[in-house]
Amino acid sequence: MPNAILHISVQFIVAISLMFFTFGLWWLRWFYVGDEVYNVIMVNTPQSYTEYAKENEIFINKNLMRTWDANYDYITFGRWMRSDDAYMTVVFPSNFDELVESGEDADILTYYRTNSLEYMYYKEDFIKNELEGYKQYIKEQKGITIAESGAVGTNIYGISTSKEDIHSAAYFTKMFARTFIPLVAFIIVLYLSMSSGTNVIAGEKERGTFAAILMSPAKRVNIVIGNILGVTIKALIPSVIFLLLVFIPTTYRSLSGVIGFFSVFLLLISLGIFIASITILISVLNDSVVSAQTAFLPIFLVMVAVCVTCIQSVGEAANFYYMLPVYGHFYGIGDNIIGEGNILNTIICLITSGLFSYLCIYISEKLLHMERFTVSGNQITDKEIRRAAKLVEEQSHDYVSKPRATIFDFKGTKRIPTLSFFSDQIVYPLVVLSIFQLLALIPTAIMYMRKPEYSQFIYSLKDVSGVPEVISKSFEIMAIFLGDPAFLIFMSIGYMGIIITYFLRVKYKEKGSYITLGLGGTNKLRNYAKGLALGLLLMGSVYLVLIITGQLTPSMPTLTAGNILTIFAGILMWLPQGAAEEVMFRGFMLPRQGARYGTKFALIFSSVLFAGFHSMNVGFTPLAFINLFLIAFFFALLDLYAGHIWYSCAAHTMWNFLQGNVFGLQVSGNQGAATLLTANYTSNAKDIITGGAFGPEGGLAVTFVTIVAIVILVVIKRRNKHFLHQN
Amino acid sequence: MRKVFIIATWEIKKIFTNWKKALAIFLLPAALMMGALNLFPALINYLATGAWNSNTIIVINSPESFKEYVEETDGTTVYKYEFISMDDLSDPDNIKILSEKNKSSLMIGFFVEKNGNKFDNEIRHYYSDLSEGNKDAKSNAYVEICYNESVPGLETKAEQFQETVITPYGDYLLDTLGGSYASSGITPFTTNGFNPIGKMLDYRTSANQGASRVIPGIMVLLMYYCTYSLVSDIFAAEKERGFYNKLILSPVSRKNILTGKLLAIMGIVSVSAIVTLLMMFISSWINTSNDAMSLLPFGMWLTPMQVVYIIIQIIPAALLMGAITINIVFNTEKIQDTIMCLQYPLVLFLFEFFIQMFRWTRPLTLEFFVPLHNTAQFTRDVFMSEEHWWRALITITVNTILALHIIKKTLRKELSK
Amino acid sequence: MIKVTDVHKSYTKNTETVKGVSFEVKPGTVFGLLGPNGAGKTTLMQMVATLLKPSSGSIEICGITANTEKDLLEIHKRIGFLTTEVKLDPLSTPNKLYDFFARLYDIPEDSISACKKVSFDRFGIGPFADKRIVELSTGMKQKVSIAISLIHEPPVVIFDEPTNGLDILTSKQVSDYLLELKEKNRAIILSTHIFSVAESLCDDIAILIDGRIAAQGTTTELMAQTSTSTFEDAFFKLYTENHKE
């Protein structure tokens, strides 16, 4: 016997006795209360509350009264609570008394500390006692009549359908006998069946001795039944001893006790056979002890789950359950111990479980006939060998021998299944984008919760319901954030993070060069400058089209220092933003999709994805989809001709910057906050041309300009094969 | 030291070459548990009542106002209503029969005591009394929520129902039937009308309380299961195959071989424990129905410090489990005996899990001196936000010392062979 | 090279498996240990390979006795042990196994692939280097096992029934390799119960019966000792003389 077994048994016994010991110490206050603190910090305490406290002799600690304008600034409150040993902060709106006076919405906020779960109940008590009293006090002050009783009384009561007193000791003993004892018996039988049952056939197969047994002239059914009996006996000996110990004090009483004893004995045997036959079936299905046990584990858990459900509804279950195997065994053992067993139910349970066991035996026997002779070679099944062979073959063709198109020097990587290729192309950018944008949003959101001037705005969110309202509110919030240089810088860092993840992915996962992201080429700086000029040309033409068709008239707003800072931060944000989107949708997707499915596919699919990713934005229309597709197509074509993405990176950045921070238009539904020019849509402006809330990218002006741009690009390329070509 | 790492990485890589094994170790147990936890309440409900959908509320003699209220709030609550009328309410047997028939359902009745007024009229009357300045205005209207005592968890559900439906319904009555009394600014202020952080904290409280019962046991159980299946692969099967002798004959001391393998076990088990924790986390966050009987209610949350606490005490526990299992492997001859002995602690942990489920007391400090049991108890403390650094210290020290002791003993015995 | 003096081994108190065995193996010779099943061959081999500790007596390998952990490691650097009992990890590949053991045996990182090429070419493992062990034939597995066991080119080589269960072709390859090792001046112990192997390979044969060496010498010496004409007859005669029920 290994001494670790001894160790762990002693440990277990000590642990269990200590746990039960604490149950006996329920009167010790310590078991309910830890080191909680009891102070309350009051923020912006109104005059009326102090008066109310004075009148009702509620103690208010003057040192814990603070003034603070930001109602949602839980970070500051948390700091106060930690330094002042307070468990809760109660925040009144700063003009609470006036609000109450004028009958407007006044909302008191409470925050509590996280270092004890008790504080929630403390908080609820505080609200129920102090704040409700305060409410009454205000009502009285305002001269509103208050009655002693409320309008509607509520009454919760339980209807008892059982006849016993559930608080008596006898009831407790009974419940113990009906829950704990069957549970122990079940676990003993399950565990012992598992360890011996998985060992016999599966273990013999693993050791190679099963062949000899199958070769012997014994009938298969005899092999199965013999094994089942062996397992049953092994599993039953300890559980029968356990039950005998339980029974000795009760059996002598009467005849029903004796009948009960035999019922329990029979039930146990049938349970043992039932579980053993399941184990043997699993053993036949598997080739090694470990795999058989892995397969048995779910059944073990299900059985334990069934035991728990039985415990929950003991004495209440419908009669039907008494006749089923497992349920019937559990209830039957419990009921017979306390002498309330029903012989008929027991018999039916024995029969049904016998039928189930027979089914298992039948299947096991058929399986043994079918496979005839199963001996594993080193625990490996045929399937695994086939898999391994396939894997070796796949590994030998590790690299796609001929990529269908080589874009940006990308030679192809390991071939992966089609489904995972597409999910990779779609899910990866989605995940990366959402993670980094969320990371930029969280600190900004916290920052704004700490600003007093936004408390009212946050409170107004309480009435938001329904999807359209949530979306429009979230764009309202985005508009606020976009006017904040700090957020723009967070976003800028986030976009840089996206670019870095792509670099790392290419370097460590594909083990390739960053050039395959389209970032190669000579004269990078000059190309970037050219791209900026291109962006200026494109967006400028769109703007001109809008002005010429009389859609809008520009005007110059006065610039403040804050605005200039925001515009500057905007430049910082658009730089990595354009680059990140280009890396994601052009630099990464074009070569990878191209290598697998050809250039045409890559052009179209990456553009569809680009348009699709913007479809969540506000004011999105089918026309916007077409426009975004066309823009993406133009950029992709440009990159393809150039052999790098520097032009489109720059053009993308310039396009967005001009739209958002210069011309004052929406960028794919996002309204920039600070602009050089203001766009005033004229009265005869048409959404179909201007794109409405989505910005020009949702209107025909952009369609026109991009189509012209694509046509020009293609025409020049046809005329001059060396146009844009590297070197 | 280099060789220790060579062996450790070899073992870890070996696990991942067999995807079935990797799946069985990392995901299967946790996923199964997750399923069990989420199915449990539904299953219990079904067994106790025979109905899958237990959110039906039987409304007896509903007044017009409640019907309107239900219509207006349609879709915002999980409850479905069944309106019935019953003439003779004075006979308690009638309700008893109804309750027998619909065991899992709550029943609500609208009553007006003494005078024969209708429910809505009584409320109207009450408010008009109040607006006239009558301080002794008294309403005889009340709502009765009945539940069947024999169905576990139904009482909590009744309380939940009162909180989420009946209380707002009271406010609704004031607005609709209050008349001139309602317009006199009867609610001077609200408490936590919009407080997302407070709401999250409330969710966290109930979820973490549930978690403190379930997760410690599950974590230890699954950690041991993982150790067990790893050890039976890394040691028991290797010994059986004779591969272990090959390792021994290399110029690496047995101590280093053992350390390398233990390191691998410790690493894998710790990671799998963290995966389990993550699964439990997901399991809590997808439990949006938030049934009263959920084992892991919605909104479980740990602070980063608490996560660190759990992780640093998982590692010595994994080490100790590794040590115990290795001791078993080296002290049993036949593989059947080995597996039998390896499974034995699994049963003990299962027992502990059940006791932990129904335990309501805080652990004694003495309990932190019981190896492995202390890991479960400390996890419980963390979920209850009662963690103390000195308890973490005791847990880690006790587990590490015992683990090292067992390893040393095993090694000494092994070397003397 | 290998010096075994009066070695005893008992697993339980009453029965002794090895009852005082002494022999010596010099470099460049093959020492054969011949005996029936249960004679204590494997136990003796495992003791020489330091897998088991003798109850009494001493075993000296390259002048080192395994008294301390450090001695043990020094011995491990000098011996290669091979037995048919070893089953390699079924899901691993020869390549991975070789790399793993090469690192354990402190072979410099940059020369591993060169060593591997030489060794795999010698046994023709090359084309199978990236297949899983399960997919290999028994002979190939044994070859991989040999390649891995002798990764560090040890001066002492211990073979426990190396040709057990192999076909004639593979056995031949293994025997050839043994002779090759012998020419490289290695000290080799070989345990077997196949007479032809012992006869053709061994310079010195000890016949182990019931844990004792019944006779020792070259085949001719043994035949002379027992005055029989064939080696097999010599063995049977020794067996009947020395075996007690």
Q: Which residue did the predictor score with more confidence, A411 or B222? A: B222
Q: What is the mean pLDDT of residues A635-658?
A: 90
Averaged pLDDT, A336-348 = 82
Q: A430-439, C42-51, C193-202: lowest mean pLDDT where?
A: C193-202
Residue B387, pLDDT > 60, answer yes
C106 and B6: CB-CB below 8 Å? no
* C83 inside 8 A of chain B by CB: yes
Q: Quick check: C130 and A389 CB within 8 A?
A: no
Neighboring chain B residues of C69 at a CB cutoff of 8 Å: 253-255, 415
Residue A151 to residue B139, Cβ atoms within 8 A: yes
CB contacts < 8 Å between B and C, how many? Answer: 68
Picking from B6, B17, B255, the nearest residue to C91 by CB comes out as B17
Query: Do C91 and A388 make contact, defined as CB atoms within 8 angstroms?
Result: yes
Q: How confident is the model at residue A378, as a pLDDT?
A: 41
pLDDT at B395 over 90: yes
Does residue A125 come out as left (phi exceeding 0), alpha (psi in the -120 to 50 range) or beta? Answer: alpha
* Touching A: B residues 181-210, CB under 8 Å: 184-195, 197-198, 201-202, 204-206, 208-209
Kindly determine whether residue C104 and residue B250, on different chains, have CB atoms separated by under 8 Å.
yes
So what's the pLDDT on residue A404?
77
pLDDT for the residue numbered B49: 57
pLDDT at A374: 44
**ipTM of this predicted complex?**
0.79
Instruction: Tell me the Ramachandran region of residue A164: left when phi exceeds 0, alpha when psi lies from -120 to 50, beta otherwise.
Output: beta
Q: Which residue in chain A has the smallest CA separation from B40?
A: A305
- B249 with C88: Cβ contact below 8 A: no
Query: Is A285's pLDDT higher than 60?
Result: yes
Nearest to A85 by CA among A117, A126, A37: A37
CB atoms within 10 A of CB A121: 12
Q: Does residue A259 have a pLDDT over 50?
A: yes
CB of B32 within 8 Å of a chain A CB? The answer is: yes
* Residue A125, pLDDT above cutoff 50: yes
Of B246, B247, B251, the CB nearest to C77: B251
pLDDT at B402 over 80: yes
* Tokens 């609208």 found at: B110
Residue written as token pair 């007193």: A165
Do residues A651 and A538 touch, judged by C-beta distance below 8 A? yes
For residue range A345-387, what is the model confidence (pLDDT) as tens digits?
Answer: 889 999 999 999 999 999 888 888 775 444 433 444 566 566 6
The pLDDT tens digits of the residues spanning B34-59 come to 776 666 666 666 655 556 655 778 88
List pLDDT tens digits, range A570-613.
888 889 999 999 999 999 988 888 888 888 999 999 999 998 88
Of residues B135 and A356, more confidence is placed in A356
Residue B392 has what pLDDT? 93
Distance from CA of A542 to the nearest CA of B (A): 44
Q: Which residues of C touch B14 (CB under 8 A)?
A: 89, 91-92
With contacts defined as CB-CB under 8 Å, which chain B residues touch A111?
195, 197-198, 201
Average pLDDT taken over every residue of chain C: 83
Which amino acid does the sequence have at A445? A
Residue A319 has pLDDT above 90, yes or no: no
pLDDT confidence band for B91 (50 / 70 / 90): low
Model pLDDT for residues B60-87, shown as the tens digit of each residue: 888 888 888 888 877 667 777 888 887 7
Among A154, A203, A293, select the one facing B162 at the smallest CB separation: A154
Answer with the residue of higher pLDDT: B150 or A232. Answer: A232
B3 at C interface, C-beta within 8 A:
yes
Question: Which residues does chain C have within 8 Å of residue A377's beta carbon, measured at their own beta carbons?
Answer: 134
Residue, of C137 and A148, whose pLDDT is higher: C137
CA distance B61 to B109: 6
pLDDT above 70 (res A254): no
* Chain C environment of A207 (Cβ under 8 Å): none
pLDDT (mean) for C96-100: 87
Chain C touching partners, 3 or more CB pairs below 8 A: A, B
Q: CA A327 to CA A313: how far, in whole Å? A: 11
Is the pLDDT at A727 greater than 50, yes or no? no
Task: Write down the pLDDT at residue A312.
Answer: 66
Instruction: List pLDDT tens digits, range A418-451.
Output: 777 888 888 888 899 889 988 888 888 888 888 8
Interface of A with C in 377-406 (CB under 8 A): 377-380, 384-385, 388-389, 392, 395-396
What residue of C is the nearest CA neighbor of A378? C90
Given an 8 Å threshold on Cβ–Cβ distance, is A392 in contact with C135? yes
d(CA A345, CA A322): 6
Note whether A228 and A361 are within 8 A (CB): yes
Q: Is the pLDDT of residue A400 over 60?
A: no
**Which of the pair, B309 or C238, is modelled with greater confidence?**
B309
A146 pLDDT higher than 80 = no
Give pLDDT, residue B313.
92
**Any chain B CB within 8 A of the CB of A392?**
no
Q: Is the model more confident about B196 or about A290?
A: B196
Mean pLDDT of chain A: 82
Contact pairs from chain A to chain B, CB under 8 Å: 305
Cβ pair A533, A648 in contact under 8 A: no
Q: What is the pLDDT of residue A376?
A: 39
Measured in degrees and rounded to the nearest 5, phi and psi for residue C228 equal -120, 165
Between A344-348, B39-43, B398-402, C201-205, the lowest mean confidence (pLDDT) is in B39-43
Q: What is the pLDDT of residues C234-245, one digit of tens each?
A: 888 888 887 765
pLDDT of residue C241: 80
CB contact under 8 Å between A290 and B233, yes or no, is yes
Q: Tens of pLDDT along B277-288?
A: 888 888 888 776
The confidence score (pLDDT) of residue C55 equals 84
Q: In percent, how much of chain B has pLDDT > 90?
A: 15
- Substitution target in A42, A126, A145 with the highest count of B β-carbons within 10 Å is A145
Q: Which residues of C touch A388 (CB under 8 A)?
A: 91, 131-132, 134-135
b/e sequence A234-269, b meaning 16+ C-beta within 10 Å = bbbeebbeebeebbeeebeeeeebebbbebbbbbbe
Query: Inter-chain contact C51–B248, Cβ cutoff 8 Å?
Result: yes
pLDDT reported for residue A484: 82
Say if residue A624's pLDDT is above 70. Answer: yes
pLDDT at A181 over 80: yes
DSSP string, chain C: -EEEEEEEE-SSSS--SEEEEEEEE-TT-EEEEE--TTSSHHHHHHHHTTSS--SEEEEEETTEE--SHHHHHHHHHHEEEEETT----TTS-HHHHHHHHHHHTT--GGGHHHHHHHHHHHHT-GGGTTS-GGGS-HHHHHHHHHHHHTTT--SEEEEESTTTT--HHHHHHHHHHHHHHHHTT-EEEEEES-HHHHHHH-SEEEEEETTEEEEEE-HHHHHHHHT-SSHHHHHHHHHHHH---
Q: Which residues of C touch B249 (CB under 8 A)?
A: 49-51, 76, 79, 81
For the ranges A27-31, A386-390, A495-499, the one whose mean pLDDT is highest: A495-499
H-type alpha helices, B27-116: 28-49, 64-72, 92-101
- What is the mean pLDDT of the segment spanning C31-59? 84
Q: What is the mean pLDDT of residues A467-478?
A: 78
pLDDT at res. C76 = 85
B6 near C CB under 8 A: yes
Determine the distance in angstroms separating the CA of B195 from the nearest CA of chain A, rounded to an integer. 7
Going by pLDDT thresholds of 50, 70 and 90, the confidence category of residue C179 is confident
Residues of A in contact with B367 (CB under 8 A): 15, 18-19
Q: Over 90: is that where the pLDDT of B398 sits?
A: yes
> Using the beta-carbon criterion (under 8 Å), do C132 and A392 form an inter-chain contact?
yes
Query: Which chains have 3+ CB pairs within 8 A of B?
Result: A, C
Judging contacts by C-beta atoms under 8 Å, the chain B residues touching residue A146 are 130, 135
Model confidence over C138-175: pLDDT tens digits? 788 888 888 888 888 888 888 887 777 777 777 888 88
Question: What is the model's pLDDT at position A270?
Answer: 92
Which secondary-structure segment (H or E) carries B235? none
The mean pLDDT of A46-66, rounded to a whole number, is 86
pLDDT higher than threshold 60 for residue A32 = no
Closest listed residue to residue A111, CA positions, set B269, C210, B22, B197? B197
Distance between C179 CA and the closest CA of chain A, angstroms: 32
pLDDT, position A375 = 41
Describe the strand order of the beta sheet including C187-192 as a list of residue ranges.
Answer: C79-83, C156-160, C187-192, C30-34, C204-209, C212-217
Average pLDDT value for residue range B377-401:
91
